């Protein structure tokens, strides 16, 4: 079951509501770009790759439901839709990447609005299928780094729920399991929204991969005591120098792993690299509502005192020197990241 499905007949988008997992499997139907932007903002769907594909289909719905009488008017409406979708979440670069790619198609010369709509739809469908193929290639590269008997710490959720299918970091773990390697996964809860405890654990159950959920703060213990041999997580935006923005807590995890000489791998498609940013300090970090932190309950009771304040950054930046390598569709990229990234980019072109 994919977390995203395009209904070609009705021109609507179905998204698995990840806010309700693992207790309930429910699909949310988006009928236009406004509902799509809201679904991204409220985290009905989340994960950098799937956010980009979701936005692409949001643009398709905007095209089919546009009020414009001609192509020029349709392009103007699409520009406005792109602005709305781009504002839904600021950190993941796959969002503006997907919108730019769709607008590139929208600006190709044509005299017919119907033809333009069909071109955009075909492009979004192609992007979705490309995502699956890219994820499988990344998973194969990443699985080659996982040895039989490894215990891997995984942060947040980077599986099929975060992509069109397969996933990034969790895809590597799934691939290693399907290759017959006997592995264990330590699943960071990933507070405050618990994407690890809720989503990654649910996915691993579907795949039959052995796992234990751990508190985020317990990762250092397992690394220091030699009970974990690898750390895998994804990325939402990667700067040109190799710094990686990922779910909050990734930096602390990478620090602990680096101190204990445990390899740390960030897994992401090439579309997540933002060459316009020289380093991770320039990556915009989304700060979400404090209620996500303050609303946590313990045994049905509020976990914090009334009137408490909270800060809630959704991401942090892991400096490139803490990473053992990137895993991309073009293979494993190691230090020096800037030079090897350029080589991979030339290969991609």
Pairing of strands 4-7, 184-188: unpaired
Copy the structure tokens of residue 319.
Answer: 């400096």
Q: Prior bond to 328 cis, omega within 30?
A: no
Q: Can you point out the beta strands (E) in the chain?
A: 4-7, 12-16, 27-30, 151-154, 184-188, 211-214, 230-233, 237-239, 244-247, 264-267, 273-274, 297-298, 301-302, 315-318, 325-328, 331-333
Q: Which strands make up the sheet holding 331-333, listed edge to edge?
A: 211-214, 184-188, 151-154, 230-233, 264-267, 325-328, 331-333
According to DSSP, the residues that pair with 14 across neighbouring strands are 5, 29
- Number of helices and strands in the chain (H, E): 12, 16
Concerning whether 236 is annotated as a catalytic residue, the answer is yes
Share of the chain residues as helix, strand and coil, in percent rounded to the nearest 5: 45, 15, 40
Q: Report which of 84, 106, 100 is spatially closest to residue 30, judged by C-alpha positions.
A: 84
Among the options 165, 188, 216, 236, which is catalytic? 236
Contacts of 133 (CB under 8 A, 6+ apart): none
Cα separation, 122 vs 53, in Å, equals: 12
Q: Is 181 helix (H, G, I), strand (E, B) or coil?
A: coil
3-state secondary structure of 243: coil
| Contact indicator for 162, 168 with CB cutoff of 8 Å | yes
Region of 269 on the Ramachandran plot (φ > 0 left; ψ -120 to 50 alpha; else beta)? beta
Residues with active-site annotation: 236
């Amino acid at each position: 079951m994919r977390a995203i499905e395009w209904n070609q007949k009705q021109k609507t988008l179905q998204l698995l509501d990840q806010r309700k997992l693992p207790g309930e499997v429910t699909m949310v139907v988006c009928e236009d770009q406004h509902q799509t932007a809201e679904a991204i903002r409220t985290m009905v769907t989340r994960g950098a790759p799937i956010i980009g594909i979701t936005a692409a289909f949001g643009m398709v719905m905007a095209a089919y439901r546009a009020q414009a009488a001609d192509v020029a008017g349709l392009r103007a409406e699409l520009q406005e839709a792109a602005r709305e979708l781009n504002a839904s979440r600021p950190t993941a670069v796959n969002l503006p990447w997907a919108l730019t790619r769709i607008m590139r198609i929208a600006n190709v010369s044509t005299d017919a609005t119907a033809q333009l709509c069909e071109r955009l739809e075909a492009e979004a469908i192609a992007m979705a299928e490309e995502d699956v193929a890219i994820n499988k290639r990344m998973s194969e590269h990443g699985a080659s780094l996982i040895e039989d008997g490894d215990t891997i710490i995984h942060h947040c959720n980077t599986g099929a729920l975060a992509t069109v299918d397969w996933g990034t970091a969790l895809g590597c773990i799934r691939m290693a399991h399907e290759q017959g390697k006997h592995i264990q996964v330590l699943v960071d809860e990933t507070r405050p929204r618990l994407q690890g405890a809720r989503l990654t654990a649910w996915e691993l159950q579907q795949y039959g991969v052995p796992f234990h959920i751990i508190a985020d703060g317990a990762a250092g213990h397992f690394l220091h005591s030699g009970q974990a041999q690898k750390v895998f997580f994804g990325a939402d935006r990667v700067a040109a120098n190799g710094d990686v923005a990922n779910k909050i807590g990734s930096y602390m995890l990478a620090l602990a792993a680096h101190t204990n000489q445990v390899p740390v791998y960030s897994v992401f498609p090439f579309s997540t690299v933002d060459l316009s940013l020289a380093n991770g300090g320039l990556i915009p970090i989304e700060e979400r509502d404090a209620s996500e932190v303050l609303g946590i309950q313990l045994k049905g009771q509020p976990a914090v005192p009334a009137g408490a304040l909270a800060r809630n950054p959704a991401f942090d930046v892991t400096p490139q020197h803490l990473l053992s390598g990137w895993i991309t569709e073009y293979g494993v990229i190691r230090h020096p990241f800037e030079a090897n990234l350029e080589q991979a980019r030339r290969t991609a072109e």
